Structure formats: structure tokens, C-alpha cells
Chain A
Amino acid sequence: MKGIFWLASYPKSGNTWFRAFLSRLLSQNKEALDINCLRTDGIASSRNIFDYITGLEASDLSAAEIDELRPKVYAYMAAQAPKPLHIKIHDAYTLLPGGQPLIPAGGSRGAVYIIRNPLDIAVSLAFHLGCNLDTAIAHMGDSEYCFSGSSRHLHSKLRQKLLSWSEHVESWTKGPKFPVKIIRYEDMHASPVETFTAVAAFMELAAKPAEIEQAVAAAAFKNLQQQEKQAGFQEKPANMAAFFREGKVGSWCSALTQEQVLRLVSEHRRVMRQFGYLSEQGEPVF
């Protein structure tokens, strides 16, 4: 069967780690994992893919015009590809002004949605953007927040509407009319083999337990970090010292002030509670 599996997440939620695992699993010859040559099928916001398929230059179109064409591009890609595609996406699952989804049901086989504790995301996002923690926290609470959203500048990627963190999570966990497998970053850490095995089954990948274990080992954070130290990582943003920075659960404890924690919890309480990031008493779990 063909079609697109979306590898979806809010930024800094473990998407690259997951793609590293998947890349190793998809590799026919099980050769060594190379973080600069992942075997998944690019990112949904790729300007080059859009230009190639439409024959237009996205740089001659407004962000709204591009968004109108994006569902058609993905449906076309899914129909033309000889195999299932695995495409990274940070866009929230949104509807266009006419009511049709940005990510079309036709052509989409499913999505893996990776969710991470927003307290840890705030720390990681601040490093990613080269901004302070308060700015990162403000972005995470902003319903209008976008990546590559400035109209004064030609971005290397298409505009991606992220919405707030809570809205992003709910958009993907409630919106699509195709199957969505939700996994938590924290479970990828605590029980990687079980978590990745479940995802591989969802994606209908015929992988033996030993192959899953090998892929998990190849995508271990230390391995990714070491590769970046040796050869760099082409997806690293300009302002960031290293993309694979800590890869830890709970780094917020030593990075966020109590005020910052309260703000994040206050803005995202309901969704944090729903996905197990807050206890019944309202205390952070991880």
C-alpha cells in the first residue's frame, strides 16, 4: 500500500530522534546511520519539493496561496510515489479558509504524533531559536505562532503554522480523519524498544525484534550527539551551539524559574493533564 505516514510533532519533541530510528529501520542493508542522510522522505515545508511538483516557484506565491496548494501537492506525491512515504511535519493540523485540511485525508495513511513535556520543550526551544526562556514560553502560548512566517524575507522553508503548544497537540490528536498513533517522548526514553515496536507495527513495518533493537541502539542519543560533534548536522539552526544538546527528560527542573513553570502549567494545564504531564494534584510528573 502507498500513501504518506506523517511524522508529526511540535518542534523539539524528539522528531529527529524518531526519524533516526526509522531511517535505520528502513535502511535495506542496515548500514550505519548517518544523521546527515536520513532515509525518511523530507519535510512537509520543503520549498524544493513544492516547486518541483507544482512547476511553480513558491517564492512567487503568498503564504496563503501556497497553503491552498499544499494539500494537492501531498495528495499528488502520495499517488505518484511507488512506496509509502515518511514525511516530517511541524505544522499544526489546520483547516484552510475553505474548510479543507492542510493535510489531506486522501493520500495520508496515518500519522505518528510525538508529544513531549512542554516544560522540557520550552528549554529546548529557547536553545533552538537562540532566544531567552520567556520568549520561548511566549511562543508556546501564542495561537498565531509560525515558523518561517516573516513576509519580508525568503525563508528556506514554507510557512508553518504551529499555533500554541496545546493547540498543536489537540489539532493532531483530534483533527485528522486518518489514524494517528500518539507516542510520548518520555516513553521513547523510558522504554524505547516497546515504544518503537508499537510504532513500527502501526506503520506496518515488518521488523523483527532484533531489527528494532538494532535501530534503537543506532539512534541512541549519544550516537547522534557524537556524529554531530564529528561531522556537524545540516538541520541545525544558526543560533544553536549543538542540535543534539542534552536529550534528557526533566531538564526543565534546573532551567526554569518557578514563575516560568507556573506560566506554562497555567497555559497548558488541560492538555498536560490529559497526556500525563501533570498529576491529579497538578504537579509535574516528569
Chain B
Amino acid sequence: MNNKQFMYKAYGLTFAADFCIPGLPESQGLPDVIIRYSAVPESLEDAIITAIVFQVAPAKFLLNVEGIARYLIVGRHEIIIEPCATADETDVQAFLLGTVLGVLLQARGGFVLHGAAVNINGQALIATGVSAVGKSTLAAALCRQGHELLADDMCLVSFDGKGKPELISGYPLVKLWTDAVEVLGEKTSLLRRVRNRLEKYQVPVGKKVSGAAVPLRWCVELRRDNSKQVSIAKLPDAEKVTSIETNAHRYWFLSGRDQVHQAKCCKQIAAAVNGFRMSWPLEGFWLEDMVKKIEGVIDK
């Protein structure tokens, strides 16, 4: 029996896993969350919600990804995984670091924004927006300018003693599709795939994440539209709150903290950050222009 434990740090938590999770920063100390392989039931007897691929019960969340694995979150401290016999390890880990980690963060009371965040001179900028709008690609391009990646996809926000928002770093990988990888001048043949058969890659960018909380200073909502060039505009206060609410990463099936708390978090963030909306054309990448626009507003 293999008793070796792998220790990692992400989103301010220390994880102890039965197995290696490539891409997560190594760590040590007492774990906050245990991840282990073991038998996972096919269903939860006391389920409150039964949906297409998951069930929710008191202090339990069961995710069943057909042909890949069943994942069970128990309380706030344990993730049990039962992979399918034919599943590839990379595929099993994709959903662990995706939905399962997202649910765990929310179950632990975390406030998560859907976006990609970078550390610019000690302050965090988060790019938000709908799927496929270019958040990760922009973050990777900013890292090319020497900035540090804080998180991709799920951005955990906490609040300091004075109620100011801070970005808690995730792990130092962005997930990019082939065309974005090529635009950034990387070779897909040298990269690890997010899933075995997807043309989506884990791209290490910039320096390793520091693990520290970084004050959140800028929120930039990305939008692709029929514009002919990249433009950026400051958001009025009312729209800033709406933008943050719209991009809050919240699973509908977890009750967690109530909506009042969620709204309060959004307002607190909106009050502390400079909000922008950056529009860019539907065709092409425009990364150079986007980075210039970002640099133009953060200098002011």
C-alpha cells in the first residue's frame, strides 16, 4: 500500500492528497482538506437535490461524471474520489480542480468570482466575463509582461480586517485552447492537456504564485461584440455592482451563505475596486491592444 501523501497549497488551503496533482504548488503543514481515493456511493440516501450529474445532501456533495469518476465532498475537509476503471488520471483531475474544487470553496463560505486574476505591482486585477470571452488568454498575455498569475477560472476573494477585498491565489496555470496557445507563441506538444482528448492545455505562466492575499484593485469585465477595435471604459458605480454580481461564481444548488451576504460581498468589492468594461472584436485575438488598454488604465 502506498502511504505517501502529496501536500499542496491553493486558494489559501493546504491539501493532502493520496496522489500527485501536477500543477498545484507543493506545500507542507497541517492539511485543511484531505483528498483520497476510495469507494464512493452511486447515490446519496439523504439527498435534498438530485440533478443531472450531482446530488446534494446535508454536508455532502456527490458528482458523477460518467466514464471518469465519482467525487464525494464530505463536510468542509474531505474529498473522496472513485475513478472509473478505464478513466485517465488527467481526466479525473480535471473535474477535481474544476467543479469539485469550486463547490468545496463555496461550501467553505468562500466568495468566488468567475475570471482570471493577475498581480500587478502588488495589487490584483481580475478579468471577468462569460465563458469563451478571453479571460484566461488575457491573463496569460499580462503574465508575458512580467505580471504574476493569481488564479484562472475561479478567483477566491476574502476580506481583510477593514473589509477590503483581497484575492487569494489559486495555482499557477492557465487553461488555454490550441489557438490561444499558438497566439502566445507556445508549442502545444510541450504542454500537458487539461483532458486527455481535448485540445485544451495547462499553460504554466509567469512566476509561481506566492500564496499570499493580494489587495483587489481592478475588475475588468470583458465583452466581445461587433466593435472594430479594443476599447475600455470605466464603469459607473451602479454598473460596477451589477458586473460583479453577474460574474459571481455561485452554484445554485448550494445554499451556503444567503443572498444577503452575497450581495454584501459584491457591494464591498464594488466599493473598493476600479471597474472597467473592455470590449473587443469577435474575430481575432487583439492581445497587444488589450494589454495596452489595461496598462493605460492601471497607470492612472
Q: Given contacts A55-B54, A156-B131, is CB(A238)–CB(B283) below 8 Å?
A: yes
Any chain A CB within 8 A of the CB of B63?
yes
Select one of B52, B63, B195 contacting A60, CB under 8 A. B195
Check B53 against A55 for contact (C-beta < 8 Å). Answer: yes
Interface residues in A38-71 (C-beta closer than 8 Å to B): 47-48, 51-62, 65, 68-69
How many residues of chain A have a CB within 8 Å of chain B? 32
Contacts of A236 in B (CB 8 A): 226
- Residues from chain B with Cβ under 8 Å of A65 in the complex: 66
The distance in angstroms between the C-alpha atoms of A94 and B286, with both chains bound, is 37
Expressed in whole angstroms, the Cα–Cα distance for A51 and B250 within the complex equals: 11
Residues of A within 8 A of B (CB): 47-48, 51-62, 65, 68-69, 72-73, 76, 151-156, 232, 234, 236-239
Shortest CB-to-CB span from A136 to chain B, Å, is 18
The CB with the most chain A CB atoms within 10 A, among B103, B198, B225, B283, is that of: B198
Is B98 close to A, CB under 8 A? yes
Q: How many Å lie between the Cα of A65 and that of B224 in the bound state?
A: 27
Chain B positions within 8 Å of A53 at CB level = 51-52
How far, in angstroms, from A155 to B130 measured CA to CA in the complex? 11
B37 at the interface (CB under 8 A from A): no
Residues on the A chain within 8 Å of B282, using CB: 237-238
Question: In this assembly, does B42 line the interface, its C-beta being within 8 Å of a C-beta of chain A?
Answer: no
CA distance A154 to B252 in the complex (A): 24
Q: How far is the CB of A133 from chain B (nearest CB, A)?
A: 21
For A242, give the chain B residue with the smallest CB separation.
B226
Q: 15 A–B contact pairs at CB < 8 A?
A: A51-B131, A54-B52, A55-B251, A57-B131, A59-B131, A60-B194, A61-B198, A62-B197, A152-B177, A154-B132, A154-B200, A234-B226, A237-B282, A238-B226, A239-B283
Answer whether residue B256 sits at the interface, using C-beta atoms and an 8 A cutoff.
Answer: no
Q: A55 with B226: in contact, given A151-B199, A155-B132 (CB under 8 Å)?
A: no
Known contacts A151-B199, A152-B177, A156-B131; is-contact A54 B98 (Cβ 8 Å): no
Please name all residues of chain A whose beta carbon is closer than 8 Å to the beta carbon of B281 when the two chains form the complex.
238
Min CB gap B61→A, angstroms: 9
A152 in contact with B199 given A55-B51, A56-B53, A232-B226 (CB within 8 Å): yes
- Distance in angstroms from B70 CB to nearest chain A CB is 14
Across the interface, A76 reaches (CB within 8 A) one of B51, B95, B98, B177, namely: B51
A54 contacts B53, C-beta separation under 8 Å: yes
Q: B179 touching A153 by the CB < 8 A rule? A: yes
Across the interface, do B94 and A60 meet the contact criterion of CB distance under 8 Å?
yes
Q: Is B99 an interface residue, CB under 8 A from the partner?
A: yes
Q: Tell me the minimal C-beta distance from A225 to chain B in angstroms.
A: 15
Whether A73 and B131, one on each chain, are in contact in the complex, defined by CB atoms closer than 8 angstroms, is no
List chain B residues, Cβ under 8 A from A153. Answer: 177-179
CB neighbours (8 Å) of B131 from chain A are: 47-48, 51, 57-59, 154, 156
Contacts of A155 in B (CB 8 A): 132
What CA separation (Å) do A59 and B174 show in the bound complex?
A: 13
Give the most central of A51, A60, A61, A238: most B CB within 10 Å.
A60
* B contact residues around A47 at 8 Å (CB): 130-132
Interface residues of B in 195-240 (CB under 8 A from A): 195, 197-200, 224-226
A53 to B283 Cα, complex, angstroms = 29
Q: For B98, what are the chain A residues with a Cβ–Cβ distance below 8 Å?
A: 56-57, 60
Q: Is B65 an interface residue (CB 8 A)?
A: yes
What distance in Å separates the Cβ of A89 from its nearest Cβ neighbour in chain B?
A: 19
| CB of A244 to closest CB in B, whole Å | 13
A72 touches B52 (CB 8 A): yes
Q: Which residue of A lies closest to B68 (CB)?
A: A65
